[in-house]
Structure 1
Amino acid sequence: MAMNPAAPSSGGAGRRGRRRSQPMAEINVTPMVDVMLVLLIIFMVSAPLLTVGVPLDLPQTQAKSLEQDKTPLQLSVDVQGRVFINDTEVTMADLVPKLKAITDARGGLDERIFMRADKKADYGTVARVMGQLSGAGFKRLALVTEVDQGT
């Protein structure tokens, strides 16, 4: 059984009968979804960097957050032992006089002070700050922590 070279083959004859494919009128959403996912990741990564204040690594607890009408007075202690009132660095000697001046302007010693301390900060520095506040008559001191995400 020999093959006849003059016999028509089934592979090449079908090309003449096909129509050219028409352009699709549908929108390809895959590139749009890709761009949106990239933007989502960018915003998720950059959102924590937009927080204002002294960068601290706060301990986590089960306590719920407090709701406030006015901006709270924040006292922060960072890893190096520096003390901040809101975002302004103060020395230990200037801490009580500046806090008294601020609280007198805002309504007296009964205002709540939110104290934040980095979890790697020296415990002695945090205790010294709390002792100075207590000795100066500040009785409403709240320690700020992050909410535990369920470990």
Structure 2
Amino acid sequence: MQVQNDAQPYDTINITPMLDLAYVLLVIFILMTTAGVQGLTMNLPKPSNKPSTEKHDIKIVQVQQGGTLTINGVGVSMAELETQLNQAKALDPKFNVMIKGQAQAPYAGVIGVIDLVNRLEIENVGLVTGKIGT
């Protein structure tokens, strides 16, 4: 008895299940990457259409490399800085304070100045990231 083998070998591969798997993996990848994106909520200042005509005094506080402080180029201690900022606030409550730390300055000194400004409740505070006056 001889068995006839009418079955011919396949010369193509069915790739439909492989494509289904690829689409499922693509959907999972898209969902996981968009779900993992988290942001930081920031309240950015909004520009006004009218220019400000008010002129306020500016105090530039620099933290030097050794941790020493200067206010408008004059060396001061932390207590003297507090006194000068209190006096400036008494004269003009809306005066500006700009804080600049040199590249080699200790980070704790900059944080100390920021804490002092917050404790004195000074509203107009900025951090200088480039050269002053250029």
TM-score norm. by structure 2 comes to 0.52
4+ residue segments displaced more than 4 Å: 68-71
Q: 2:115 aligns with which of 131, 138, 147?
A: 131
Q: CA deviation at 1:70?
A: 6.1
Q: CA deviation at 1:102?
A: 2.3
- C-alpha distance in structure 2 between counterparts of 1:89 and 1:135, whole Å: 21
Unaligned segments of structure 1, at least 5 residues: 1-67
Structure with more contact order per residue of length (Cα contacts < 8 Å, sep ≥ 6)? 1
Unaligned segments of structure 2, at least 5 residues: 1-53
Residue pair 2:57, 2:95 contacting (<8 A) in 1 also: no
- C-alpha distance in structure 1 between counterparts of 2:55 and 2:79, whole Å: 31
Cα-to-partner distance string for 1:40-72 (whole Å, 9 max, x where unaligned): xxxxxxxxxxxxxxxxxxxxxxxxxxxx95662
- C-alpha distance in structure 2 between counterparts of 1:120 and 1:76, whole Å: 12
Aligned residues: 79
**Matched-pair identity in %:** 21
- C-alpha distance in structure 2 between counterparts of 1:94 and 1:127, whole Å: 17
TM-score norm. by structure 1 comes to 0.46
Aligned to 1:144: 128
> What's the C-alpha RMSD, in Å, of the aligned pairs?
2.3
